[in-house]
Amino acid sequence: MTSTAIQVRNLRKAYPTKVAVADVSFDVRAGEIFGVLGPNGAGKTTTVECVAGLRQADGGQITVLGVDPQAHPEAVRARVGIQFQEIQLRDKITVREALAMFAAFHADPADVDNLIAMLGLTDKAHARFKTLSGGQKQRVSIALALIGKPDVAILDEMTTGLDPQARRDVWDAIRAVRDARTTVLLVTHFMEEAERLCDRLVLLDAGRVVAEGTPADLIAATPEATSLEDVFVARTAAQTPRHVFA
């Protein structure tokens, strides 16, 4: 039987001027790649920040690996790897040094060189962080999320700024992570990424769930849709596909 890694029930989060998450519920099964999709401002980042215990929700219940991240954020963060959109590292540190430094914070870290190879950074292992391209820095941030061998990895816009080949390399790496039994919660704007990579996904719009299922199920359930992008346009208030990539 497949177990549930993450359960979100009736999540609500309002900022002083905006209800970011009105009512969001979904289940993520252990060992799957689960996507959180939606137009700009749909509440994706706020949702995953609440799941990670980085933000206090106003209502609803969340469990991650059986633990409430709102009540016990430290316990959840010990088992969850989070990719930060902007990583701050000293300019002179090398890729390998950075990963080794973060590995030292964990009792049973991943092998630094394997992780570097998995993310296609072997020839940059001894390069200083400041000399890396945006895409290479992005891959370092993914490696840092995985260094503690987390049971759950939360990746927010992980391939933004990557060229098509680098994006495909990262997809392969994420599949390898999933195949090694890590559950992956993925926020993405890229419909092709979601279609190819996600086992299941939830589509948010204006802080609510408008669709949930496998990419194939969602396409089949939407009249005249032949791609996830068609589903996105049909089910959200996004006016044109261009909005998706804004």
User: If binding is defined by CB under 6 A, does position 46 make contact with ligand ATP?
Assistant: yes
Task: Give residue 178's region: left, alpha or beta (phi > 0; psi -120 to 50).
Answer: alpha
Q: In whole angstroms, how close is the CB of 55 to ligand ATP at the nearest point?
A: 9
User: If binding is defined by CB under 6 A, does position 83 make contact with ligand ATP?
Assistant: no
Q: How many residues bind ligand ATP (CB under 6 A)?
A: 12
Closest CB to ligand ATP among residues 129, 232:
232
Interface residue with ligand ATP, options 25, 31, 41, 160 (CB under 6 A): 41
Q: Answer whether 8's CB lies under 8 Å from 47's CB.
A: yes
**What is the three-class DSSP state of 42?**
coil
User: If binding is defined by CB under 6 A, does position 245 make contact with ligand ATP?
Assistant: no
- State the CB neighbour count (10 A cutoff) for residue 23: 14
Interface residue with ligand ATP, options 11, 28, 42, 132 (CB under 6 A): 42
Q: Which two tokens stand for residue 148?
A: 């503690």
Q: In whole angstroms, how close is the CB of 40 to ligand ATP at the nearest point?
A: 4
Residue 167: alpha-carbon gap to chain centroid? 14
Widest pairwise Cα distance in the chain: 54
Query: What is the dihedral angle through the alpha carbons of 145, 149, 152, 157, rounded to the nearest 10 degrees?
Result: 20
Q: Which two tokens stand for residue 211?
A: 């669709």
User: If binding is defined by CB under 6 A, does position 15 make contact with ligand ATP?
Assistant: yes
Q: Answer whether 213's CB lies under 8 Å from 49's CB.
A: no
User: If binding is defined by CB under 6 A, does position 35 make contact with ligand ATP?
Assistant: no
Interface residue with ligand ATP, options 6, 24, 44, 52 (CB under 6 A): 44
Q: Which region among 35-43, 125-133, 195-203, 229-237 touches ligand ATP (by CB under 6 A)? A: 35-43
Closest CB to ligand ATP among residues 20, 119:
20
Pair type for strands 33-37 and 200-205: parallel
User: If binding is defined by CB under 6 A, does position 210 make contact with ligand ATP?
Assistant: no
Go through the chain and tell me how many residues it has. 246
Beta-strand ranges (E) seen in 112-207 are: 152-156, 183-187, 200-205
Closest CB to ligand ATP among residues 44, 167:
44
User: If binding is defined by CB under 6 A, does position 43 make contact with ligand ATP?
Assistant: yes
Closest CB to ligand ATP among residues 41, 161:
41
Interface residue with ligand ATP, options 20, 51, 118, 166 (CB under 6 A): 20
User: If binding is defined by CB under 6 A, does position 40 make contact with ligand ATP?
Assistant: yes
Closest CB to ligand ATP among residues 45, 83:
45
Q: In what side-by-side order are the strands of the sheet with 4-15? A: 59-64, 4-15, 18-29, 208-213, 200-205, 33-37, 183-187, 152-156, 80-83
Binding site for ligand ATP (CB under 6 A): 15, 17-18, 20, 38, 40-46
